Amino acid sequence: MTRYESAKEIYARYGIDTDAAIALCKKIPISLHCWQGDDVRGFDHEGGLTGGIQTTGNYPGRARTPDELLADMDKAISLCPGAKKINVHASYAIFEKGEFADRDALEPRHFKKWVEFAKARGMGLDFNPTFFSHPRVKDGLTLSSPDRETRDFWIAHGRACIRIASYFAEETGVPCVMNIWTGDGYKDIPADRMGPRMRYKQSIDAILEEPYDFTKVKPCIESKVFGIGVEAFTAGSAEFALSYAAMNRNKCIPLMDNGHYHPTEVVSDKIPALLCFFDEIALHVTRGIRWDSDHVVLLDDETKEIATEIVRCGATERVAIALDFFDASINRISAWVTGFRSLQKALLSALCTPHAMLRKLQDENRMSRKMAAMEDVKMLPIGDVWAEYCRVCGVPADGYYDDIELYEKNVLLKRN
Ligand code: RNT
Ligand code: ZN
């Protein structure tokens, strides 16, 4: 008997069909964010990242060109099991030689390479307007700026991005999640909190006036509690973003980034709350250490709990899952792969958990037995199911860093 056969038998005693879990896990797409590969720099401007988010570290081998980034993503993808989408930021427009279009004038054709890349790999694409790292960010503000011209520039950017998202959906045949996040806010105590938020609201209204098919383009509003340099106030707070999405349910969906809340709040608990009201929600899965530090996602308690809620709410088709982290202090391909695989492990483990049995114990108020059973479940041989899952998907179950190290030696280190 193989280890997987033995594990399968053990899980069957809990009423779990591990083959079915593997088959389902393979189909749950996770959106792989292009911006881990180059420290969120993008291709449409010189220099690094600005606007309330930050990468730290200077590990060698960062992708410097579209070709390098796509090659690195391919390497990462080759080591990740399961279904994928590619998450692109507007600042990653790929221009022809000598060509340039500012953010308000971006066109679908500037993202043709991304479409070709995704289509060739049978993947969908997600998209993000880029409201940061740009000279038109005025005094730290974009869509909520008191300056009309600044707002109009960024509204035009948002509308251009809707057209690009529609093109992505049309070309790939897969709906495109288009996430609106701005770092708009104030470093110190504002004298007006509602003004910026009213302007932000009206600007999003104006962006969403751009025609689109809501079954294909899914605009999201991502909230955030604070950012570097905007510690006192963010226009897109949790209440703002969630209320906007709730009041515009036929136009957009809420997006929760688990780095964007007060440290004792957990997104896992917010998922079932939102699912009571929204048909669809979106997530940015990240790992904050003490703040929204965007460390690589690991198989930690909150990642497991997020996956558990998605699975036990029966919501694998209602939650758009994306990764959002950026670590410049380690091998960037390893960062992608470890983060992606950690979330996949969490999903597989959630799919191999006897939720119906545990729920019954809760509903019958048999809490001592429920606690004991939940602890028993933690010791089930999920590693053997993971190994089988990886085998089925044609990727290594472990030891994947050897392959990355070879790529580092042969490709990444030659870039410096
Ligand atoms: C920032 C937000 C946002 C960005 C990306 C790059 O705190 O999480 O989602 O990380 O758009
Ligand atoms: Zn995010």
Per-residue pLDDT of the chain (416 residues; tens, 9 = 90+): 999 999 999 999 999 999 999 999 999 999 999 999 999 999 998 878 888 788 999 999 999 999 999 999 999 999 999 999 999 999 999 999 999 999 999 999 999 999 999 999 999 999 999 999 999 999 999 999 999 999 999 999 999 999 999 999 999 999 999 999 999 999 999 999 999 999 999 999 999 999 999 999 999 999 999 999 999 999 999 999 999 999 999 999 999 999 999 999 999 999 999 999 999 999 999 999 999 999 999 999 999 999 999 999 999 999 999 999 999 999 999 999 999 999 999 999 999 999 999 999 999 999 999 999 999 999 999 999 999 999 999 999 999 999 999 999 999 999 97
Atom of ligand 1 nearest to the CA of 128: 11
| 181 annotated active-site | yes
Q: Which two tokens stand for residue 287?
A: 């790992």
Closest ligand 1 atom to residue 255 Cα is: 9
Q: How far is the CA of 62 from the centre of ligand 2 (A)?
A: 21
Contact 63, 78 (CB under 8 A): no
Alpha helix (H) residue ranges in 14-147:
18-25, 66-77, 112-120
Nearest ligand by distance to the CA of 182:
1
222 catalytic per annotation: yes
Our answer to whether residue 72 is catalytic in this structure is no
Per DSSP (E only), the strands in 34-110 are: 84-89
Residue 376 known to be catalytic? no
Atom nearest to 326 CA in ligand 1: 10
Distance CA 150, CA 404 (A): 43
**Ligand 1 mutation target, pool 220, 324, 326, most atoms within 8 A of CB:** 324
Q: H or E stretch including 363?
A: helix 355-363
User: Model's pTM, two decimal places?
Assistant: 0.98
**Contacts with 194 (C-beta within 8 Å, 6 or more apart), sequence order:** none
**Identified catalytic residue from 324, 384, 388, 408:** 324
Ligand 1-lining residues (CB < 6 angstroms): 35, 40, 53, 128, 181, 222, 224, 257, 284, 292, 324
